[in-house]
Amino acid sequence: MHSSTYHLELLQLSIVTSFIHDIIRPSTTWNAAELLGNLSSLLNPNLSPPPPPPPTTGVPHTFDSIQEVLSTDVTTSYFLSGSLSDSTIYSPSCYFSDPFSGFSGLNRFTSNLSNLSTFVTSYKTKLLTFTPSPKDLTVTSRILVKLQLKLPWKPTLNWVWKVTHFIEKNNEGNYQIIEHKEEWEINPNEGIAQCFRPGR
């Protein structure tokens, strides 16, 4: 096995370990994802360059236009691919969090998802609910996610991901998402078991 490939596989395994720890307590999955991206570039110079930073300015948005964009993106699994149909609905400093960690910055979010995708073999998603709330300025989605990790025993993860987008109107009257909060509907013990259970 080529040494660079070997080292990347070791790093991928360490990220999965961090992901497992995330189910139990705070950890550094996102930091590991950033490290994976940096090392991938160093060890494999022929890899495609990382995606450019997403644009954050454009036509002013309303609450309705934001929910229309989100209704499209949740069906195309943006939260796994990092591909956004219109990134201008997000504030450049939007805060992204899961149950145990978080960070600010849209560019960091899309870059990390691009890195994480390198150890996901395949995935399927099904939108369960999509709930806009103009009164609260939130849009909440629940998505059933099934994905297989790129590890020798091919574990399959399968649970419901809940994402709430918090929207704010600025002084210019433009609406943007200022927080992206992710929750996982799964028993911690079952989440750990899925990570170690051999897939097909």
Encode pLDDT of 13-37 as tens digits: 555 555 554 444 444 455 555 555 5
Q: What is the pLDDT of residue 171?
A: 83
Q: Helix and strand tally (H, E) in the chain?
A: 6, 6
Tell me how far apart the alpha carbons of residues 116 and 29 are, in angstroms, rounded to a whole number.
Answer: 9
Per-residue pLDDT averaged across 88-101, rounded? 89
When the pLDDT of each residue in the chain is averaged and rounded to a whole number, the result is 78
pLDDT reading at 128 higher than 60: yes
Widest CA span in the chain: 57
Q: Which residue has the higher pLDDT, 194 or 34?
A: 194
Which pLDDT band holds residue 43 (cuts at 50, 70, 90)?
very low
Say which residue, 112 or 183, is predicted with more confidence.
183
**CA dist 50 to 36, 96, 111, 118, 135, Å?**
12, 20, 7, 12, 38
* pLDDT cut 70: percent of the chain above it: 71
> Average pLDDT for residues 56-84, to the nearest whole number?
86
> Given this model, what pLDDT does residue 192 score?
77
Residue 43 amino acid letter: L
43: which DSSP letter?
H
Cα gap 87→84, rounded to integer Å: 6
Q: Which domain holds residue 133?
A: 3-196
Number of domains in the chain: 1
- Reported as a single tens digit per residue, the pLDDT across 133-186 is 999 999 999 999 998 988 888 999 899 999 999 999 988 889 999 999 999 898
Give residue 59's pLDDT band: very low, low, confident or very high (50, 70, 90).
confident
**Of 2-6, 88-92, 132-136, the least confident:** 2-6
The single residue listed with the structure tokens 């990382």 is: 50
Q: How far apart are CA 57 and CA 87, in angstroms?
A: 8
> What is the C-alpha to C-alpha distance for residues 121 and 60, in angstroms, rounded to an integer?
37
CATH of the domain at 177: 3.10.450.50
DSSP assignment of 46-74: TSPPPPPPPP---S---HHHHHHHHHHHG
